[in-house]
Structure 1
Amino acid sequence: MRRVTLLLSIVFFVILIGCSEDDVVTPHERFDKYVEHWSNQEFSKMYEMLTPESQQEYSTENMVDRYTKIYEDLQISDVTISYTKLSDDELETSLEEGTATLPFTVEMNSMAGPISFEYEAKLTQIDEGEDEESLNWFVSWDPGFIFPEIKDGGEIGISTTEPVRGEILDRNLMPLAINDTVWEIGIVPGNFDTDSDIEKVASLLNMSVEAIDSQLSQGWVTEDTFVPLRKVPESNEELLNQLWEIDGIMGSEATGRVYPLGESAAHLVGYIRQITAEQLEEKDPEVYSPNDMIGNTGLERVYEEQLKGEKGVRIYVTKEGEEDITLAEKEVKNGEKIVTTIDANIQEEIFNSYDGEAGTTAAIHPKTGETLALVSSPSYDPNDMVYGISQSKWDSLQNDPKNPLLNRFTSTFAPGSVIKPVSAAVGLQNGSIDPNETFEIEGLTWKPEGWSDYEIRRVSESNGPVDLRDAIVRSDNIYFAMQALEMGEDAFLNGLQQFGFGESIPFEYPIETSTVSTSGNLSDPVLLANASYGQGELEISSLHMATAYTTFLNDGNMIKPTLLESEETSQVWQEELITKEQADIISEALRGVVTDGTAGYAKNANLPISGKTATVELKLTLEDEEGAQNGWFVGYPTEDQDILIAMMVEDVHELGGSSIAVEKVTDILEKIK
């Protein structure tokens, strides 16, 4: 009898297990579905799986809407839920009793980093119909499923810590862009004479009267309230003194972005401004918010990612009368410090030398490639752009015929005769130019056979046969046109390409690519001839021009320009463009330009200088008799070769042509050496 009873028990257990696996939904199967919805943040479907008691206690607003808001606010993603399944014995008991408890672990990512917690899910078996197959499992839910810390009440809080923007420094750690003390200027209404002083304040702060009125009329403003209007850099003493004289004007110290070099480095360093709606759409919402400042131009924009840093974020639970509980925290990461190779003193010296004239200059160390200055003139004050520029001042900048908003050092220009040493190097390298070969050239003009009315013109007649040195020293256009036509388009074009024409310059700051022509070829003989002496459609940036000249000071290797102190120096951009002997030939000729040629002003300097001049004719058509002129001088100390300056001055027709550039570069070298 006992054996029969035991056998029946075993059969009953097998039948029970079989039913639970084949016909009856197990708590495992039900919770798996719940977890799937949870991982996909399908909160409405999760709500449908709650017990009637849970649904009665927590409405969809308390559960679904709260889940949605919290997960959106905390930027929850990658939700993973894992749990340990019941043993066979535990499963049998749960099927018999209609309840099951499943401990689970939740892991997720948030705006403040990973969050994980452990909790228990209690499931109840409920009959949804008349037969056994209608039995199903439902979850007993409470807010602890969101986070255990809010099971018995409490609110989720988020606090952020703004990163400190990284500073931009020159090679000597002098500031180019820093976070410095500024004055938050505001009004205390009870002490302020609105009728008589508001227009004066509006004018001084580059604000409209309407904007100030709007600030003063806000609901929270009282007679004794300090109402902030605008920040003013501490260095603007003249403006601050005028403001302090007005009753009711007060200031509080704050921190703001300041550009100590002002106009001298505006195009290079750039400035920050409040992010626009369009930029906000393009940026990562975890990094930028509507009130953030962002690099708008210059180095501020180029290195925005490094300078910006990362916000610190803390997610916590707050309960009345209790200490806050931290759920996740990401430490603030301040912006990186950007140390450049720029020399602030040289940058200012070069900019000031323009004295309002238009032009651009690049100064580099010809042996290391370190960029010492990148200047665009005229300019603007970047501090105005950050702290408010009046409409009239903005209109003045935009309407100025010299275009101070244009960044000239990123642009390309016709180089004129300063390209001749490069043309010479191309011919020497491919063997088409013999430095000792002379040409008998008569008169000031020359026209190859078969040309129509167009003639090549040179600036002065030679006293005898012209060789390479004489052609560089006296800047003979005819000599170089003859040589280019003799070597042909393919050889000359190939040589220019080896010097980096048509190739992006390997530089941290975006610079326009230098070009040989609008079409990229020199198949037209007139275009080919003109290109040989830097006219026609040939264009090059001042930085590329300076870089090309490093070839003559480094035994035929063109050095790669660098901008950051962290970059490796003395890297070769283009190797063995010419031999050491050929480089010496050109270098000696560049010294001759000063001692015997077109850069005579530099001959009287207190140090020996070498270089090349150019007066570029900017004719609209080949038939134009006369047009505007740009003047170039690429110069460097002949002996102590630690700086090379490529300067271009615009519209030099009435300033003495290229001699104005020679004077400026010479004076700069004398001051800084």
Structure 2
Amino acid sequence: MGKSKLWMIGVGAALTLAACADEEAETPTPEEAEPETVASPEPRAQKFMDLWQAGEYDTLYDEFLTERTKSAFGEEIFIDWQEELDEQLSLSERDIDWQLGEEPWLKNEPADIPLTIAMESVVGEIEFAKTLSFVYEETEEGAEGEWFAEWDPSFILPNLSKNDNVFVQVSETERGEIVDRNGKVVAGNTDAYEIGVVPGNFDRDDYTERLAELLDMSAADIDAELDKPWVEPHHYVPLGTVGPDRETLNRLFAIPGTKRTKVTMRDYPYGESLAHLTGYIAPITAEQLEERSGQGYGQGDVIGREGLEEIFETELRGKRGGKILIEKTAQNETITAIDNSTAAGDTIKLTIDADLQRKVYREMDDAPGTAAAVDPYTGETHVLVSSPAYDPNDFIPGIKQSRFQQLVDDPGQPFFNRSAATYPPSYVMQPVTAAVAMKQGTLDPAEGIDIDGETWQKYASWNDFRITRPNPGVKNPIDLEKALIHSDSIYFAIQATNMPDDSFLTGLSEFGFGTALDYPVPLSASQISESGAFGSEGQLASSASGESQVRLNILHTASMYGTFLADGEMKKPILISDTEEESLKQELFNAEQAELIRTALVEAGEEDGHELVGKTAVLKSDKGNMGWFAGYDPKVGNLSVAVMMEDEEDAAAIAEALFSDD
């Protein structure tokens, strides 16, 4: 009985304790304090990112870093080192993609912001991910707090720490080639040799003059290089670059103390004939460095300076690569922070026939002029020549100042791209005027007009202004065929003034006057007049035969004459081979009208004494007689040609060379 009682007491005690515990659990306790929320860090984060992208490190340091960050790194690391690395690695165009998390923002918890940092560098694009933490700190007692960033050097480069050293290994890429329609290289790369000497092994008294002659330098140039402060007797001093000319190389290496290093050099096999199209490459200038900031260029790099080398610089240059190495002083090891592969530049294929281009250029014999040949059915440019020209190879590896000055002083202006300019066309304009008038319905090709005398004016109000024709003895009546054969300016003036309102102006605009061609190489637009309109009816009348202020671009001229072959369709001129064909204008006139003009141009060619179909013109001036030809070869019929020679009358002879088999 005693044991049972004790058990019961124990149970009672347990129940009593449980009851007490329930009572305590039910007793309310003071509420825990809610976490204190603060304003969103987004405005501060946005300002931080903007200043970071702009490289405003001073402001970031003064206004946006936590005190702990400042204490750990100081201005020397955050400001000075970042600026040094920006310059050393050409870091620029920093792009920061970031996203803020969800509210609430708590006073005692950091706001972590995931970042993706992308920027250009001397070894190409760098991209890496980081998390930037913003901490809420009170700026002074009693004042409202603000968000500040926790920063370390790994936000400059991955794995970068204080006291590390940074090195760069740049891997150059091969510049892309420019080739013609047949795959022949017009701007490419060839093996060459950098030539230098070791001063301690080089007898300056005996060999400087000989070395200077072989390197196309002056003795003073060589002395200047060897006398630079850094040069020691055992140092290698680079002096110049020569191509793979075995005879020259053998003569160079016969000089004691010379050394060579194999390099790649730009080469222009077609020289002057394609110079205004290819352009050339040369060392980058300070101005170009500034213009291309953020694109990975540095001092000593080469860049396209003219022509297609400049226009397609990005494509030809390719993708530069290399490594950024970090020497970890604390761990006594070197790691690779960035490793970018290279990619060769693109090949730019032209529609130009390089052999034909060179043939035409040589036929011009350095006389000032320009020529173009286009396929009227596709728009492809086979020839676009400017004469005289310079040799792009003179700029590789660097043009001598004396040679450059010689080119600048040349009265033929070899740097002037005549194919991009415009010139007064005279009678070459007449078939275009005829086409516009026929389209308007005001010119009946079979209807003859009686024209008497050498000069004409429509109204006496023209005062002393009169239209003069070159062949007043042609028998009346004068129809379109006779007018084109004999370049009858009066006939075309009458046709132009017979068109109602502004229809002649509108018709010429349809042919492309006043609009620059959409073409990789910038070309001046052909013009009706300086104002783009006719100031008087007399000006309109004289413009019908290419007088007054009418100016034609050579490629545009070839394209317009191509419409006579293509039955009134004008194709967009193409220079790059993979460009899609495009019709600029259709139905400028109909097939029947095209045949009428072709027939007349056949007779005009025969009248001028050559086998080509087209128009010639000679413009007399104090500087000489400017000669024009525009037309095509009836035996071939796949190229429309225009030639302008500034002081040579027989432009047709240049065009004939274009079609000959020689």
TM-score calculated relative to the size of structure 1: 0.81
Deviations 1:413-433 (A, max 9, x none): 111211111111111111221
Q: CA deviation at 1:48?
A: 4.7
Among all aligned residue pairs of Structure 1 and Structure 2, give the percentage whose two residues are the same amino acid.
34
Partner of 2:616: 613
Query: Which residue type is aligned with residue 479 of structure 1?
Result: Y
Pick the aligned partner of 2:643 from 642, 647, 650.
647
Query: Which residue type is aligned with residue 521 of structure 1?
Result: A
**Cα separation, 2, equivalents of 1:355 and 1:580:** 39
The farther-off stretch of 543-552 and 504-513 is 504-513
- Structure-2 change in CA distance of 1:488 and 1:650 (3 Å): farther
Partner of 2:602: 591
Partner of 1:668: 658
**Cα separation, 1, equivalents of 2:459 and 2:360:** 46
- Structure-2 change in CA distance of 1:221 and 1:475 (3 Å): same
SS of the residue corresponding to residue 442 of structure 2 reads: coil
Does the CA-based 8 Å contact 1:417-1:614 persist in structure 2? yes
Does the CA-based 8 Å contact 1:161-1:311 persist in structure 2? yes
Pick the aligned partner of 1:396 from 384, 403, 406.
406
**Cα separation, 2, equivalents of 1:144 and 1:390:** 46
- Structure-2 change in CA distance of 1:472 and 1:322 (3 Å): farther
Q: CA deviation at 1:516?
A: 1.2
Deviations 1:208-240 (A, max 9, x none): 5444223212355344543212223336x7866
Partner of 1:429: 439
The farther-off stretch of 484-493 and 409-418 is 484-493
The farther-off stretch of 382-391 and 440-449 is 440-449
Pick the aligned partner of 1:10 from 25, 29, 38.
29
Pick the aligned partner of 1:78 from 85, 96, 104.
96
- Structure-2 change in CA distance of 1:290 and 1:423 (3 Å): same
- Structure-2 change in CA distance of 1:118 and 1:78 (3 Å): closer
Query: Which residue type is aligned with residue 591 of structure 2?
Result: K
**Cα separation, 1, equivalents of 2:480 and 2:150:** 95
Q: CA deviation at 1:524?
A: 2.9
Q: CA deviation at 1:359?
A: 0.5
Query: Which residue type is aligned with residue 625 of structure 2?
Result: Q
**1:49 is aligned to 2:67:** yes
Does the CA-based 8 Å contact 1:414-1:534 persist in structure 2? yes
Deviations 1:579-634 (A, max 9, x none): 10000000111111233x11x132xxxxxx32221112347xxxxxxx63211112
Deviations 1:417-461 (A, max 9, x none): 111111111111112211111123344444555242655131462
Partner of 1:274: 283
Query: Which residue type is aligned with residue 402 of structure 1?
Result: G
Q: CA deviation at 1:87?
A: 13
**Cα separation, 1, equivalents of 2:542 and 2:138:** 93
Root mean square deviation, CA, Å: 4.0
Does the CA-based 8 Å contact 2:384-2:419 persist in structure 1? yes
Partner of 1:21: 36
Q: CA deviation at 1:259?
A: 0.9
1:337-352 map, 5 Å: 337-352=347-362
SS of the residue corresponding to residue 396 of structure 2 reads: helix
**Cα separation, 2, equivalents of 1:8 and 1:29:** 37
Partner of 1:544: 556
1:398-417 map, 5 Å: 398-417=408-427
Query: Which residue type is aligned with residue 529 of structure 2?
Result: S
**Cα separation, 2, equivalents of 1:634 and 1:142:** 70
Partner of 2:526: 514
Deviations 1:248-274 (A, max 9, x none): 444332112111110111111111122
- Structure-2 change in CA distance of 1:66 and 1:409 (3 Å): closer
**1:113 is aligned to 2:126:** yes
Q: CA deviation at 1:314?
A: 4.0
Query: Which residue type is aligned with residue 307 of structure 1?
Result: L
Pick the aligned partner of 1:253 from 246, 251, 262.
262
**Cα separation, 1, equivalents of 2:230 and 2:339:** 33
Give the total of aligned pairs.
Answer: 625
Partner of 2:372: 362
Deviations 1:635-659 (A, max 9, x none): 322143222221111212xxxx2xx
Does the CA-based 8 Å contact 1:474-1:593 persist in structure 2? yes
Partner of 2:584: 573
- Structure-2 change in CA distance of 1:4 and 1:231 (3 Å): farther
SS of the residue corresponding to residue 671 of structure 1 reads: coil
Does the CA-based 8 Å contact 2:65-2:149 persist in structure 1? no
1:280-295 map, 5 Å: 280-295=289-304
Q: CA deviation at 1:82?
A: 6.9
Q: CA deviation at 1:483?
A: 2.2
Does the CA-based 8 Å contact 2:561-2:631 persist in structure 1? no
Pick the aligned partner of 1:477 from 489, 493, 500.
489
- Structure-2 change in CA distance of 1:500 and 1:242 (3 Å): farther
Pick the aligned partner of 2:381 from 371, 374, 377.
371
**Cα separation, 2, equivalents of 1:323 and 1:31:** 38
Partner of 2:244: 234
The farther-off stretch of 72-81 and 579-588 is 72-81
Q: CA deviation at 1:531?
A: 1.5
Partner of 1:263: 272
**Cα separation, 2, equivalents of 1:148 and 1:385:** 41
1:547-562 map, 5 Å: 547-562=559-574
1:303-342 map, 5 Å: 303-312=312-321, 314-319=323-328, 324-342=334-352
Q: CA deviation at 1:363?
A: 1.0
Q: CA deviation at 1:196?
A: 5.2
**Cα separation, 1, equivalents of 2:515 and 2:159:** 60
**Cα separation, 2, equivalents of 1:377 and 1:514:** 20
Does the CA-based 8 Å contact 2:467-2:493 persist in structure 1? no
Q: CA deviation at 1:470?
A: 1.3
Query: Which residue type is aligned with residue 539 of structure 2?
Result: L
SS of the residue corresponding to residue 628 of structure 1 reads: coil
Gaps of 5+ in 2: 1-19, 53-59
- Structure-2 change in CA distance of 1:663 and 1:68 (3 Å): closer
- Structure-2 change in CA distance of 1:140 and 1:378 (3 Å): closer
Query: Which residue type is aligned with residue 614 of structure 1?
Result: A
Deviations 1:6-57 (A, max 9, x none): 688931x62xx24x538xxxxx999999978975652455665319xx93x7
Pick the aligned partner of 1:189 from 188, 193, 199.
199
**Cα separation, 1, equivalents of 2:146 and 2:552:** 78
**Cα separation, 2, equivalents of 1:6 and 1:34:** 46
**Cα separation, 2, equivalents of 1:65 and 1:390:** 40
**1:534 is aligned to 2:546:** yes
Q: CA deviation at 1:194?
A: 2.5
Partner of 1:500: 512
Q: CA deviation at 1:191?
A: 4.6
**Cα separation, 1, equivalents of 2:550 and 2:228:** 59
Partner of 2:17: none
Gaps of 5+ in 1: 23-27, 603-608, 620-626
Q: CA deviation at 1:298?
A: 0.9
SS of the residue corresponding to residue 499 of structure 2 reads: helix
Query: Which residue type is aligned with residue 113 of structure 1?
Result: I
- Structure-2 change in CA distance of 1:632 and 1:226 (3 Å): same
**Cα separation, 2, equivalents of 1:401 and 1:423:** 35
Does the CA-based 8 Å contact 1:418-1:613 persist in structure 2? yes
**Cα separation, 2, equivalents of 1:136 and 1:6:** 42
**Cα separation, 1, equivalents of 2:657 and 2:459:** 45
